Amino acid sequence: MAWSTRELADLAGTTVNTVRHYHRLGLIDVPERGYNGYKQYTVADLVRLLRIRRLTELGVPLSQIGEVEAAGDATPEALREVDAQLAVQIERLHQARADIAAILRDQAPADVPPGFESVAARLSEADSSILHIYRKLFDEGAMADLRRMVEVDPEDLGDEINSLPADADEATRQRLATSLAQTLAQNLRDYPWLNDPVSHLSKSTRVTQQTFIEAIVELYNPAQRDVLGRAGVLAQELLSAERDSGRDAD
């Protein structure tokens, strides 16, 4: 008995394209053709295909099937490696489901930075973009602190800064910088690591600084950058004045 490619695929519960793909990968030998020009598959080919399908059902990647088959006495170890890979995939899928549930619960955009679903409405496009970048620069603890900062930041102030035009006048810039400085100073009090974030970096200090500067320049307009810069200086001045006042009291 000989089967065509379609008949073989039907018997194995797969598709013709899958069989052809296995041929291209060298997992199944290409059989001889009959007088009618069709490939002629035998029982051995069917068994070979079914064995491959079984390994793929176990989660063995096609690229590792030959390795698993050739493992011999080492097959259990090869399968343990596959099992470890599957565990990572399952954990990733569980996390994806949890993220989707949070997005649906808070009616947040699908591409909101993870962990920020509940505050997504407070984030401008620039804010969301820079948080995505921060995820690659800072550890999970730092990102959790950043989320808490967003939760308590004055929403009206954030909206005004986000809508600030590039040609905003001096008075508006100074007013916003003065208001923002109060928030930044409080963040620095609550999260001292902001003054020296090295322990929370997942990349080198050089890469982090370079990436941060480039992101700020590209994501915020000149007036917004000016306000952020002024606010940072004013916040440090506020804290410095507090420290001086504390020393005087002593």
**Ordered DSSP codes for 13-75:** TS-HHHHHHHHHHTSSPPPPB-TTS-B-B-HHHHHHHHHHHHHHHTT--HHHHHHHHTTGGGH
**Distance, C-alpha 21 to centroid of its chain:** 31
**How crowded is residue 102: how many other Cβ atoms within 10 Å of its Cβ?**
17
Residue range 58-109, pLDDT digits in tens? 888 898 888 887 766 667 787 888 889 899 999 999 999 999 999 999 999 9
For residue 127, name the pLDDT band (cuts at 50, 70, 90): very high
How buried is 116 (Cβ within 10 angstroms: 0-12 exposed, 13-18 middle, 19+ buried)? Answer: buried
pLDDT confidence of residue 74: 62
Which segment of 45-49, 76-80, 243-247 scores lowest on mean pLDDT?
243-247
Task: Give the per-residue pLDDT at 14.
Answer: 94
Residue matched to tokens 């909101």: 112
Host H or E run for residue 112: none
Rounded-to-integer distance, Cα 126 and Cα 215, Å = 9
Residue 213 pLDDT level (bands cut at 50, 70, 90): very high
The first and second tokens of residue 236, run together, are 């440090």
User: Taking Cα atoms as reference points, which of 46, 82, 44 lies closest to residue 63?
Assistant: 82
Residues in the chain: 250
Does residue 212 register a pLDDT over 90? Answer: yes
